[in-house]
Amino acid sequence: MFILVNLKAYPCDPVAVARAARDVADAHGVRIAVAPQAADLARVEATGVETWAQHVSPVEHGSHTGSTLAEAVEANGAEGTLINHSERRVTLAAVDDALAAARRTDLETIVCANDPEQAGAAAALSPDAVAVEPPALIGGDVSVATADPEIVEGAVAAVNAVDPDVELFCGAGVSTGDDVEAARDLGATGVLLASGVAKAADPRSALEDLVSGI
Amino acid sequence: MFILVNLKAYPCDPVAVARAARDVADAHGVRIAVAPQAADLARVEATGVETWAQHVSPVEHGSHTGSTLAEAVEANGAEGTLINHSERRVTLAAVDDALAAARRTDLETIVCANDPEQAGAAAALSPDAVAVEPPALIGGDVSVATADPEIVEGAVAAVNAVDPDVELFCGAGVSTGDDVEAARDLGATGVLLASGVAKAADPRSALEDLVSGI
Amino acid sequence: MFILVNLKAYPCDPVAVARAARDVADAHGVRIAVAPQAADLARVEATGVETWAQHVSPVEHGSHTGSTLAEAVEANGAEGTLINHSERRVTLAAVDDALAAARRTDLETIVCANDPEQAGAAAALSPDAVAVEPPALIGGDVSVATADPEIVEGAVAAVNAVDPDVELFCGAGVSTGDDVEAARDLGATGVLLASGVAKAADPRSALEDLVSGI
Amino acid sequence: MFILVNLKAYPCDPVAVARAARDVADAHGVRIAVAPQAADLARVEATGVETWAQHVSPVEHGSHTGSTLAEAVEANGAEGTLINHSERRVTLAAVDDALAAARRTDLETIVCANDPEQAGAAAALSPDAVAVEPPALIGGDVSVATADPEIVEGAVAAVNAVDPDVELFCGAGVSTGDDVEAARDLGATGVLLASGVAKAADPRSALEDLVSGI
């Protein structure tokens, strides 16, 4: 199981969360990555934690003021990137172009989708993984794997039908080891989470609980 | 073969083009539809031609000022709608929601895509048809079926692999009967065109030429 | 006072509301206009009511699939258009280009703004009117002129400081004659409303009540 | 005169350009800042050059995946930010909200505008400066101050009429000391440039030439 902690624009200390993630990953031999704001990539990467971008723009080098260039996030330590998160949706063509940008720079990719149908569509573009996250559950207390197990199962099936090499992750409401275990039992090989760790009083404890489900 | 004439925002007389399309369709027993500006739907439909919308918004009834509601285009004569045209791209989630709006109102649907991969992705959302249109060829003099036959073949294959019930149309540069014939020979069951008819000095002649390829 | 009834994407009968607006306007000598979906413009205009568009695209004739061309809404009866409604926000440059499109076609213009500062900014682009509508009050039961009179006064002052030829309207929560009177007393020369009429069981009565405040 | 070098998404070495800018600024007592990709802010700031962001999102702390949070760019060394660059246009309301974000974090602000009318509109939102950049000239060989002096003069007048405390910068095609001098003579107190330095074989020489105009 892969655990990706998305720091969004939360008022947390990205370095403190990154250190906690690194320590828990090392202590338990679990793969945990942290996705901070683009401006924070370098100092998060300096902790030694696996570092991801929250977004890359569907562009190559050029006149793109205010873009998030794949080359720039890679040069500052990112090893992968989310694409099309529900808080940063892009067009179908831009998903394709952002994937091309990520391949150009050897970034791993997770394309986010709302439901099994969109997960199947995303899989057709050959990312490394698709993450299904029902928007209604994002930021809530109930995990998608608990509240809507058929969404995870449906997404696993939809992705496998299109391209069995694409992994299926799930997100929305994931905060405990039980949530991680439920996701794994439904066929997911990774989870996305955010507030459960980033807003925790003790991110290390929150992560320890999460990995207990693996 | 289905021929869809997209009037875009061209300075043509939509009623004159609609009448020409109706006459040629009737005379040759060919299916031809015209997609005007939303504001022109009613008077285009009044000619008797099959009428399509160029876009519908991914919304239901509600507080959506400036939207193009599926119910409103249907009530004014539309029988189908383009979704995600390269000049009106929407997010992956919005493609899905626009398809839901179209199903709600019994509109036929064509989702546009740039290339075979995106065509496969669009097919996973179960529209009636996917139209592959390489942006570089739109508005030009060379037809996609002539310039890039492997794009049409690849899109047919990609769509079939995902959902064999979804038809594959092609567009970009289509303007003659030879282009229509080339598209059909590559496995397309419809073509999208725009300037070739809408900007023609004599739209009826342009349409007569097109249907000669069927 | 000018009363603009925005039908948004509400499930009302646009023709019935248009007739009610026409009758009340005629009976009381008050200026009332109705802004339906673009697809409904022609049949709303056929009632004889003053008809407005909810939006026009910042484009000229050309390859703009899915746009709302000023020429098309004008040809189907629109006499004016909203621009930058809070449910259809556009960039600063697009406000400017949409105003140019409206001038080209002799459409009257109302640019919407959230607060007095944005109202002043909008006035610098020389529309016919600016409408201040605090998003938090849109669709609610409390009128901006009652809940936040200083927003209306501030917007009147901000617009006057930039260009005294630009009128100031207000919207959000307007539903009664008292609301219209309060708006007028604060210096507004028009009101925008939507659900108060479009969702009323009896639109004519709702309009009768509104004009009682003039 | 203030010189802002926007590195866009160019394939330059941001640290090398930053060092050149720092050296030329120090040698000549001129204010020069560099605006790199958000991910590069920390290492550009570490050179000692004045560092700016190319964009900040119109948000506060929260669930905004893929945003560019003002607090994050400020924490990584940014002292100011561009807003509404023609390659990263935002809605009128978002300009206002991005300005609020910048004020919250003590970032200086430059709002970009296409022409004098939009410059006046931007000034109404009280940024520190407005930069007028005609899109047709961006990336070209001819400076706005040379090709269209009346645009710079008109923008100076429009901004002064709305708020004399707002400075007026200009950009597009600026690459030589003569361009800087022409801009200053027309009333601009700063210039924006990009390719003239970022794509120069020798950025230091390019900057030396630019400051010769001050």
pLDDT above 80 (res D126)? yes
What is the token pair recorded at C38?
């673009």
Alpha-carbon distance of D38 to B156, in angstroms, equals: 41
Residues of D involved in catalysis: 85, 133
| Closest Cα in chain D, distance from residue A94 (Å) | 14
Angle at CA A76, nearest 5°, toward A75 and A81? 90
- Indicate the residue of C9, C72, C139 with minimum beta-carbon distance to B40: C72
Assess: ipTM above 0.85: yes
Q: How confident is the model at residue D170 (pLDDT cuts 50, 70, 90)?
A: very high
DSSP structure string for B14-78: HHHHHHHHHHHHHHHT-EEEEE--GGGHHHHHTTTSEEEES---S--SBS-TT---HHHHHHTT-
| Segments of chain C with pLDDT less than 50 | none
Rg (CA), chain A: 16
SS3 C91: strand
Q: Which residues of A touch D8 (CB under 8 A)?
A: 62-65, 67
**Cβ atoms of C128 and C166 closer than 8 Å:** yes
D160 touches chain C (CB under 8 A): no
C207 annotated as belonging to a binding site for a ligand: no
**What's the confidence (pLDDT) of residue D174?**
87
Residues of chain A numbered 12-51 and touching chain B (CB < 8 Å): none
**What's the confidence (pLDDT) of residue B145?**
80
Which has the higher per-residue pLDDT, A119 or D196? A119
**Would you call C38 and B38 a contact, using CB atoms and an 8 Å cutoff?**
yes
Q: Which residues of D touch C120 (CB under 8 A)?
A: 124, 162
Alpha-carbon distance of D17 to D21, in angstroms, equals: 6
pLDDT above 80 (res D140)? no
B62 touches chain C (CB under 8 A): yes
Alpha-carbon distance of D158 to A127, in angstroms, equals: 49
**Cβ atoms of C109 and C99 closer than 8 Å:** yes
pLDDT above 90 (res D137)? no
DSSP structure string for B80-125: EEEES-TTS--BHHHHHHHHHHHHHTT-EEEEEESSHHHHHHHHTT
**Cβ atoms of C101 and C57 closer than 8 Å:** yes
**What's the confidence (pLDDT) of residue A116?**
96
pLDDT above 90 (res D78)? yes
Comparing CA positions, the residue from D92, D144, D140, D87 lying closest to residue D115 is D144
What is the token pair recorded at B78?
């539309």
| Segments of chain B with pLDDT less than 70 | none
Residues of A involved in catalysis: 85, 133
One-letter identity of residue B167: E
Q: Is the dihedral of CA A156, A161, A167, A172 positive or negative?
A: negative
Residue B176 CB: number of other CB atoms within 10 A?
18
Q: Which residue of C has its CA nearest to B55?
A: C66
- Kindly give the confidence (pLDDT) of every residue in chain A, 214 residues in length, as a single tens digit, with 9 standing for 90 and above: 999 999 999 999 999 999 999 999 999 999 999 999 999 999 999 999 999 999 999 999 999 999 999 999 999 999 999 999 999 999 999 999 999 999 999 999 999 999 999 999 999 999 999 999 988 877 777 887 888 889 999 999 999 999 999 999 999 888 899 999 999 999 999 999 999 899 999 999 999 999 987 7
**What's the confidence (pLDDT) of residue A185?**
93
**What's the confidence (pLDDT) of residue A214?**
79
Binding site members of A for substrate? 6-8, 138, 173, 194-195
| Count of CB pairs separated by less than 8 Å, A with D | 144
Chains A and C touch (3+ CB pairs under 8 A): no
**What's the confidence (pLDDT) of residue B167?**
98
**What's the confidence (pLDDT) of residue A132?**
96
Chain centroid to CA C142 = 18
Q: Which residues of D touch A42 (CB under 8 A)?
A: 39, 42-43, 76
Q: Which residue of B has its CA nearest to C5?
A: B65
**What's the confidence (pLDDT) of residue A105?**
98
**Would you call A121 and B84 a contact, using CB atoms and an 8 Å cutoff?**
no
- Indicate the residue of B53, B66, B76 with minimum beta-carbon distance to C87: B66
**Cβ atoms of A31 and A3 closer than 8 Å:** yes
Q: Which residue of D has its CA nearest to A68?
A: D37
**Would you call D39 and A73 a contact, using CB atoms and an 8 Å cutoff?**
yes
**Cβ atoms of B41 and B69 closer than 8 Å:** no
Domains and CATH numbers, chain C: 2-211 (3.20.20.70)
C-alpha distances in Å from residue B197, one per residue of A26, B174, D68: 65, 10, 45
C92 touches chain D (CB under 8 A): yes
DSSP structure string for D72-118: HHHHTT--EEEES-TTS--BHHHHHHHHHHHHHTT-EEEEEESSHHH
A120 touches chain B (CB under 8 A): yes
Residues of B involved in catalysis: 85, 133
**Would you call B68 and C37 a contact, using CB atoms and an 8 Å cutoff?**
yes
**What's the confidence (pLDDT) of residue B175?**
87
Alpha-carbon distance of C186 to D116, in angstroms, equals: 31
